[in-house]
Structure 1
Amino acid sequence: MSIGIIGSGALGANVARALAKKGIAATLSNSRGPDSLAALVQELGPSIKAGTTSEAASADVVVVALRWVDAEKVLSGLPAWKGRIVIDGTNPVEFLDPNSPDAKDPSNPLAAYGIKAVDLGGKHSSEVFKEFVPGARVVKAFNHLDVKVLSEPEVAGGKRVLFYSGDDAAAKAEVRKILEDIGFAPVDLGPIDVGGPLASLPFGSLAAQEFIRI
């Protein structure tokens, strides 16, 4: 089963690192093109190759590791998904310019962290995200932990718990296997309408919660 990663920032790069440590092949992409990833893929080793976003999106399982503000634009320009599995690693937050008025807005409880929540009109983020990838089987995962720990799923004699959710049992089984192969302890939160909001930043009750299974 082939794996593609769309987005090579902290999230995408650290998912790629976790895969690389286990020798699992994946195609990593970003909006700047494969040449911009030369140094990173050299660091990661032979199992990770650089590709275009279209090449990454053609994999059997596609990890979307994009900022929320970029997701719709990037994903809408890709070919039809045709039932492929898409892992939604996004969170509905906007990163603030530290010198902007928004960064000092006293009404924003997240301003001190350099982010603000995106107003989704009462919908949860994966509900909106599914509209960006029509025809895909969406599984929510990789979004609730600090991105810096994603490259180290095995720690302190145990495995980091990684939550996932989705509505397609077969798709969830494939994602669970990948998470287990990387070294995580996957925990199924059920349907995406339940698990998505629980694990999504910034306000999900399980967001940023780090558990270790011993």
Structure 2
Amino acid sequence: MSYAIIGLGNIGRALAKAFSRKGIEVSVATTRDPESFAADAAAIGPKVIAKTLAEAVKADVIFLAVRFEAHPDVARALSNWDGKIIIDVTNAYGVPPEELGEQPSSKAVAQAFTGARLVKGFNHLIAATLAQDPAAHGGRRVVFLASDDDTAADEIGVLAENLGFAPIKLGGLSEGGLLVQARGKSWGHLIFKDLVKFDG
């Protein structure tokens, strides 16, 4: 299984740190030439590899860590996303619901990535928290996952475990997924909740 992070802002860097911490190779890409951020990627860890967008989207699992407004630009990198899992880490705060056809923002993202299996996740924590070691207070930091594809959610749940997090599945995008999505100028109820799971 190959992994890529599209976007190298604060959230993208936090995700890259999570991979580096566990020694799992991950590609990172932006719309810029990889030479412009290769040093930043290398500074995070030796297994964080700067690539072009065209190269990065060849990965099996792709974290979409760009501004919500930029997701259509990334979607155009491939005409067909069949077989790939897109993890939607975006937050559409401030985007009027009518612009999204009154549907959850992750549904709009799913429609842009034709053929992909979409999982909403890793988006409810601020970057500084997400960047920390998920082993906290004797437990593991929680990440929420929502998807209309149970198998995809299970696969990303395993990845979250491998990265040291405690995944909690919320159900479909239009149900539990709304708890971790912004709608207009309001945040979902679980956004910014830094929770720790204790394995008993």
Tell me if TM exceeds 0.5.
yes
TM score, norm. by length of structure 2: 0.90
Structure 1, unmatched stretches of 5+, are 94-115
Work out the CA distance in 1 between the residues paired with 2:2 and 2:39. 22
Distance in 2 of aligned mates of 1:91 and 1:45: 26
Distance 1:156 1:40 in 2: 30
Identity of aligned residues (%): 38
SS of residue in 2 equivalent to 1:192 = coil
1:134-145 matches, cutoff 5 A: 134-145=114-125
* 1:155 corresponds to which of 132, 136, 159: 136
Contact 2:79 2:114 (C-alpha < 8 Å) held by counterparts:
no
Equivalent position of 2:160 in the other structure:
179
Deviations 1:100-158 (A, max 9, x none): xxxxxxxxxxxxxxxx3443341110111111101000011011111111122222222
Inter-partner Cα distance in structure 2 for 1:180 and 1:44:
21
Q: 1:204 aligns to what?
A: 188
Q: Provide Cα deviations, 1:1-20, integer angstroms capped at 9, x if missing partner.
A: 10011111111111001110
Indicate the residue corresponding to 2:102 in structure 1.
122
Name the structure 1 match of 2:171. 190
Secondary structure, counterpart of 2:4 in structure 1: strand
Q: Which residue of 2 aligns with 1:106?
A: none
Structure 1 equivalent of residue 5 of structure 2: 5
Counterparts in 2 of 1:74-89, with a 5 A limit?
74-89=74-89
Q: Distance in 1 between matches of 2:77 and 2:43?
A: 29
CA RMSD for the aligned pairs?
1.4
Q: Is the 8 A contact 1:189 1:195 kept in 2?
A: yes
Please tell me the residue identity of whatever aligns with 1:203: W
CA contact (8 A) 1:6 1:65 kept: yes
Contact 1:125-1:196 within 8 A present in 2 as well: no
Q: Counterpart in 1 of 2:148?
A: 167
* Runs of 4+ residues deviating >6 angstroms: none
> What is the alpha-carbon distance in structure 2 between the residues aligned to residue 196 and residue 40 of structure 1?
32
User: How many corresponding residue pairs?
Assistant: 192
Deviations 1:155-189 (A, max 9, x none): 22221111001122221121011101111110000
Is 1:133 the counterpart of 2:117 in the alignment? no
Contact 2:147 2:153 survives alignment (8 Å): yes
Structure 1 SS opposite 2:140: strand
Q: Deviations over 1:32-81 (max 9, x none)?
A: 12112222222122211011112211101010001011111232233411
Q: Which has the larger radius of gyration?
A: 1
Which moves more between the two structures, 202-211 or 61-70?
202-211
Aligned residue number for residue 101 of structure 1 = none
